[in-house]
Chains A and B, each alone.
Chain A
Amino acid sequence: MTAQALDGPVRTALADLLLAMADDEFVIGFWDSEWTGIAPILEEDVAFASLAQDEVGHAQALYRLLADLEGGDPDELAFGRRPEEYRHARLLDHPRTDWAFSVARRFLYDTADAARLDALVASAHAPLAAVVAKMRREETYHLLHMHAWLERLATGGQEPRSRLVAAMERLWPDALCVLAGIEGDDLLVEAGVLAEPLAAVRRRWLAGLAPELERLGLPPAPATPPTRCRGPERPDDFRWLWEQFTMVRRSDPEAVW
């Protein structure tokens, strides 16, 4: 299926999904790049920088898909909007905080993103399926790494464990937002763009995590469905990040790079 074959409402729903995914990847990439130089160990300076680079690269590919669909320019999409116009999940509003917090947040995000990608890998929208097939392979390294850290902190003694548990309790309500907040996903399912509704993807994600969380004695997902998942309200922490990642662009919007 090419972009031209998508009718109005399906096209709008796809654009919303692409923007949400691209913004998710872009924002987490920038937060995690902040660990470079100050991670607990040198290996994690390298690892988080690499993870962040992956995410920003994925964002770039998704912004390009969106630009191909709706017109516009990927750089403008990435850097040219006001904070209230970004559509990332609330989970990505939080700053780095501490190491356990970043590990918990990244673990929750990466596993949810993997479930989302799995529902898109056979997408009838060929350009999306192609990019997803590539991204999903790269995500396996994210999952391997973050799972190892989750286990390390959960079993590493009282301090890392208590920080991890506190982080997960704080993050769980927001984590549910990664697989929520897109209107019209039923249209995407009908059009074969998405394999199943996001609510089903969320159930699959949670079912996949539950045994492991139980094994490690970590808090399970809350039952309450999430609300106000993707803006436009944004906390000061995200507004600060927005100033950081748009600073160069705003210094000379007409510059050619």
Chain B
Amino acid sequence: MRTLSGTEVWEALAEVPDPEIPVVSVVDLGLVHAVEHDGERLRVELLPTFVGCPALDLIRRSVAERLAGMAPQVEVEMTFAVPWTSDRITDEGRRKLRESGFAPPEKGSEPAFGRRPGDTGRQSRPLFSTIPVRPSTTCPYCGSADTSLENLFGPTLCRTLFWCNRCRQPFEQFKAI
């Protein structure tokens, strides 16, 4: 039996679109946590973007379908082993988002929570206003920085709503998380 290469697996994964935003793949979004194969078993672990995302099982199944047949045994699982953060979106993913009228999240504006080294869980943390920078972005249509945040929340868990004051169009930003 021919040996499966890691490259082949990653190329296959790059063909699996995100169901909500099909211009980007699961690789573009940085959803792939681990790929293991030993000739018999191919195992892929994916990270959920948001705990409550209703598309998680659909993503898992789409990946499993694409990888079917690449090894005698194919396993695809969602894991919380590390939290998915929006800075995992690749540069290619960010470019594709912009090109399709969707603003990528601003790097460095992710909420700074989750476990950090040395965390005992007993430190006092501020209970509010924990996002250091209010979400802001440039318009993916006209490039203007004159944009207004309309809503921290959007039609899906992963989106914030913006308005461009210059070209007068609404657009969505992938939420920094």
- Tell me the A residues contacting B by CB distance below 8 Å: 43, 46-47, 49-51, 53-58, 60-61, 111, 114-115, 118-123, 127, 129-131, 133-141, 143-145, 147, 194-196, 204-205, 207-209, 212
Contact = CB atoms under 8 A, between A and B. Distances in A.
10 tightest A-B contacts by CB? A57-B52, A195-B121, A130-B80, A50-B153, A140-B111, A122-B121, A133-B114, A147-B128, A47-B153, A134-B83
Contacts of A141: 111, 131, 152-153, 175
B130 A140 contact: yes
Contact of A119 (B113, B121, B126): B121
Given A131-B51, A138-B50, A50 B157 contact: yes
Q: What size tier do the contact residues of chain B reach?
A: 35 or more
A133 B155 CA distance: 24
Q: At the interface, is chain A mostly helix, strand, loop or mixed?
A: helix
B115 A46 contact: no
Given A114-B125, A123-B121, A143-B128, 17 more contacts: A43-B153, A46-B151, A47-B151, A50-B153, A50-B154, A53-B52, A56-B52, A57-B52, A119-B121, A130-B80, A131-B51, A133-B83, A135-B51, A137-B111, A137-B114, A208-B124, A208-B126
Interface in B49-85: 50-54, 79-85
A56 B53 CA distance: 10
A134 B121 contact: no
B168 interface: no
A147 to B, nearest CB: 4
12 contacts: A50-B153, A51-B153, A53-B52, A57-B50, A61-B51, A111-B127, A118-B121, A130-B80, A133-B83, A133-B113, A141-B152, A141-B175
B83 A121 contact: no
B81 to A, nearest CB: 6
